[in-house]
Structures are given as structure tokens and as C-alpha cells.
Structure 1
Amino acid sequence: MLNIGSMDRRITIERETETVNPSGSVVKGWAPVATVWAEVLQQSASEFFTGYGEAETGTVVFRVRYRPGITTADRVTYEGTAYGIKEIKELGRRDALELRGEALK
């Protein structure tokens, strides 16, 4: 069940865009798709360890209200850090989404 009260952080979901300069060169950038309230969950210690050794640090789960159209090609910006979306999990019957993000370098 979704607990709306725990969604107390603002995140921005962004999508990569391409723009053509007057010179004809293509410039890639990120454009905001939505700024939403989210619950930010740090990954538990048991999830940090995999069969191949220690997993990447900087993995965070963002729980947001259901929003169609979000893909793993998008990213989340939270507190000045960009996180690439590695996994999207639907909770309930379109109640919410869990976006598993990994900090980008």
C-alpha cells in the first residue's frame, strides 16, 4: 500500500533531448519531464552485496505515484545528483512506481 505522507522529497524526472545548432551540429541535453514528490529509500546492506562482489554504491530507490511513460532511458535528479534509472517496478494496480537509480558520474 502506498503511504503518501512519506513522499516528502522533490525529484525531477528528465529525458534526453537532441537539438540542432544553426551550424548543423547536434547537441544532447536533458529536459525535465516532471517534478514530483517522492519517497527516497536507500538501498539496504543486503542488496549491496551480489554474487560478484560488492555492487555499485550510490544506488537509491525513488517511490513515486504512478506515472505512465517513464522508461530506463530517463534519469532522476535529486539534491543535485543525477541517477540513471536501472529498473522500474509497478506497485499495486498503478498505485505507484519504484525507480531504482544509480548515481551517474
Structure 2
Amino acid sequence: MRAGLRKHRIVIEEPVEVKSDSGAITVEWVPKAVLWSTFEPVSASEQFTEQQRQDFFTVKFRVLYRDDITAKMRINFKGRIFDLVQKPIDHLGMQKELHLMGRERGE
């Protein structure tokens, strides 16, 4: 893929458990990497759960290959949060490009 197509900055965030003074454990999202990426909408859908409608927007982000991104992480794109819905895909198995499938929850 031509580098010029990766024109969007994304932040890969990882969950870190933090223990408060009272002993309660909470999860904070900490930046792991800032990367250039594509932004490719894949699908939009809605589901009805417990009599509420939930919208989902799925996007494929393509970044240069790296081996430290896991499915437990998420993507922050211009303040929009995308949960990774599967482990990163090593496109063509050549360790050159990763495909990250992210799902944004709507209102």
C-alpha cells in the first residue's frame, strides 16, 4: 500500500488496571502508539437489546506491521473510540501491514 493512503492519525490505547487509595481497581486507557492509518468504513448495523436500539459502525484501519497490538486494545480516532473486534490481521502474512477491525458504538 502506498504510504500516502495512510493519512489519518490514530492512537492505539491499552487497558491498565489502577488501584485507588480505597483499594478499588479501575481500568484506565493509556496511549500505546500513535500511528498513520487508513480509515475504511466497512459496515453499519443496529441491534435491539433490552428494548433499546444500539448502532454499530465497523471500520478497517490499515497500519504498518507491528507485533505489539492485541485484540484487548482500542483505537482512538479524532476522539471517537473503536473497540477491536478481532485480533489484528497480518495482511498476506508478510509482516508489512496490519488490518485492525474496529467497532464504534453509536447512540
Question: What's the TM-score bracket when you normalise by the shorter of the two chains?
Answer: 0.7 to 0.9
The answer for unaligned runs of 5 or more in structure 1 is 50-55
Answer yes or no: is 1:9 the counterpart of 2:8: yes
- Per-residue Cα deviation, 1:5-30 (whole angstroms, up to 9, x for no partner): 10000000011111111221112110
3-state SS of 1:71 partner: coil
3-state SS of 1:5 partner: helix
- Per-residue Cα deviation, 1:42-89 (whole angstroms, up to 9, x for no partner): 11xxx668xxxxxx6410000000011211111001121110111321
Misfit runs of 4+, over 4 Å: none
Q: How many residue pairs align between the two structures?
A: 95
Asked whether the 8 Å contact 2:11–2:76 carries over to 1, the reply is yes
Match of 1:52 in 2: none
TM score, norm. by length of structure 1: 0.81
Identity %: 27
Cα displacement (A) at 1:104: 3.5
TM score, norm. by length of structure 2: 0.80
Q: What RMSD, in angstroms, separates the aligned Cα atoms of the two structures? A: 1.7
The answer for unaligned runs of 5 or more in structure 2 is 46-54
